[in-house]
Amino acid sequence: MLFKKTFTTESDIIKGCLRGERKAQQFLYESYSKKFLAICIRYVKDKDLAEDTMIEGFMKIFEKMPQFESKGSFEGWMKRIMVTQSLLTLRKNKNLNMEVHMEAFLEIEDSSYELNHMEADDLIQLIQELPIGYRTVFNLYAVEGFSHAEIGDLLGITESTSKSQLNRARNVLKQKIADQQSKERRING
């Protein structure tokens, strides 16, 4: 009978990974792969490319694990690597243009909108439809919790550009929500 090693604490997993134990690495991967794939998909819309990005992110996690100093959350540390890897994938594929200039989006009126009838999946879909620069900053700020200074460092843009991109993203989302609700009211009469 083979003894299957189980990892009961985060510290056990980290120690096992640092020793290069495949079981620890597999356990870590299986524990976080779904969550990290969702993060990658938020930035890299193509599912296959997002999966590749996640795998590259895990390789970086294993490679950089000796640098984790147990200051703060291990999951947060890994999540930051996944976000950074997603941004690197966007840059590598030349899909990241932070300076989105779309006149139609600049003239968005401040229409009223409500979220009470909107499902989370609908909101996620609307975020995915944002231009890539807006979507990236929105995700980093509103979902991941990065500051504008951190976003600027990650993306190689100024803090004010980050704020501007977030503001534009919010305005576009407000308009999309209002449009969707207006359409639903017409349909439901």
pLDDT in tens, 2-42: 434 677 888 899 999 999 999 999 999 999 999 999 999 98
Query: What residue segments make up the domains of the chain, in order of their start?
Result: 10-92, 103-188
CATH of domain 103-188: 1.10.10.10
Chain segment 86-138, per-residue pLDDT in tens = 998 988 876 555 544 443 343 334 434 444 445 667 777 888 888 888 999 99
Name the CA radius of gyration of the chain, rounded: 20
Phi-psi region of 145 (alpha: psi -120 to 50; beta: other; left: phi over 0): left
- The answer to whether 25 and 62 have CB atoms below 8 angstroms apart is yes
| pTM exceeds 0.85, yes or no | no
Which fold, 10-92? Rna Polymerase Sigma Factor; Chain: A (1.10.1740)
